[in-house]
Chains A and B, each alone.
Chain A
Amino acid sequence: MLYRRVWSPYVAGIVIGLLQIPVFLILGASLGTSGSFGSVACWILGKGGDAGCFPLLKNWWQLGLVVGIGLGAYLSRRLSGVIRKPVSPLWTKVLKTSALRPRFIMAFCGGFLFLFGARLADGCTSGNGISGIALLSVGSFIVIASMFLGGILISRLYPKG
């Protein structure tokens, strides 16, 4: 299974959903990733419990989680031998150039906006989506509906090919 090139989306979804068990039982929280950025921002700014910052101590597991996500994806692709291009060919089609700079600027802006939005909405695709909706939070349904709306509007500008 670990050497497979692809898992069914249903297997992947069940594995991700089951992670709620240790997160809830051991850490008393629910799955989320964007809070780790808040912790890092807090640490860089040297701030306390205000202005979007929360204690680093409480969020160490989330920092571990996001580093683990990178490590897991790396191990996964090494075991299966999947090799990706340094930049997805999709962006060459969207930007009509294979130059790196326009794509780097676009990626930077995307990262800025998705994190700013996630902090404003109090969670991202995992915190509001996978956890918030599974906890039946009305706010999370609103955030995720708005997220899909924003994503669909921008993706309409991209070539359909």
Chain B
Amino acid sequence: MTIIFAAALGLVMGVVFGFALEKSRVIDPETIIGQFQLKNFIMLKVFLTAIATGLLVFSLFFYLGFDRLSWKTTAIGSDVIGGLLLGIGVALAGACPGTVFAQIGAGYRDSLMTLAGAIIGAIVYAQTKPFFQTILSLQWPSQKLTIDHFLGCPFWVAALALFCIIVGVLILLEKYRPWKKEVISLSTKDKDL
């Protein structure tokens, strides 16, 4: 596969991703901070629906015999510390590493500073990685720790179980927090959604 093909395919998929992010208003700081303050659940709805869809997609692929290609190593130290820093950064920036690009496209000026900070963060991480890895890499005995291996069942069984739980949560969320009442308003035109 050529570089150009890979980049072009990424670009096309990114445009679709960007549309979904902008239209759902999950890129707006009010939505993200509102989620962290537990008063707006749009972010969780998008997030859980994407996960639920992915669970079905991967169940089908692995059932058909495709190999699991990407494994995330479980390392408690760096997972907890990294996750906390990620969350603190998201709350300060009002964006995630992916949505910052959508924010720039949607017209937020301060997102350019978020992007600059993120690039510097990546450079500093690249320079200090050996130091942090030594301290934080408390590896789990198994490198490939996944729920299905843990339970000793096929992927699709565990995935469908989680899918059902997520759908249940989404139904309850929608019942008590209808999304149309939660979408943040950006202008007076948004009154008649």
**Nearest A residue (CB) for B7:** A64
Residues of B in contact with A (beta carbons under 8 Å apart):
1, 3, 6-30, 32-33, 35-39, 42, 45-58, 61, 66, 68-76, 78-111, 113-127, 129-130, 132, 136, 140, 145-148, 150, 155, 158-159, 162, 170, 179, 183, 186-187, 189-190, 193
Question: What is the bound-complex CA distance between A7 and B57, given in angstroms?
Answer: 22
- Once the chains are docked, how many angstroms separate the CA of A148 from the CA of B96? 12
Cβ B105 vs Cβ A73 within 8 A: yes
Q: How many residues of A contact B (CB 8 A)?
A: 126
Not counting A17-B50, A17-B57, A24-B58, a sample of 18 additional A-B residue pairs whose C-beta atoms are within 8 angstroms of each other reads A13-B52, A37-B121, A57-B3, A71-B15, A72-B105, A86-B109, A100-B109, A107-B92, A107-B94, A109-B92, A110-B114, A113-B85, A115-B117, A129-B47, A138-B74, A142-B83, A152-B38, A155-B33
Q: With a 10 A CB-CB cut-off, give which of B10, B57, B159, B193 has the most chain A CB atoms.
A: B10
Which residues of chain A (22-65) have a CB below 8 Å from chain B? 22-31, 33-34, 37-38, 40-42, 44-45, 47, 51-53, 57, 60-65
B167 to chain A, nearest CB (A): 10
Interface residues, chain A, with chain B CB atoms under 8 Å away:
2, 4-31, 33-34, 37-38, 40-42, 44-45, 47, 51-53, 57, 60-77, 80-84, 86-88, 90-91, 100, 103-126, 128-140, 142-156, 158, 160
Tell me the smallest distance from the CB of B158 to a CB of chain A, in Å. 6
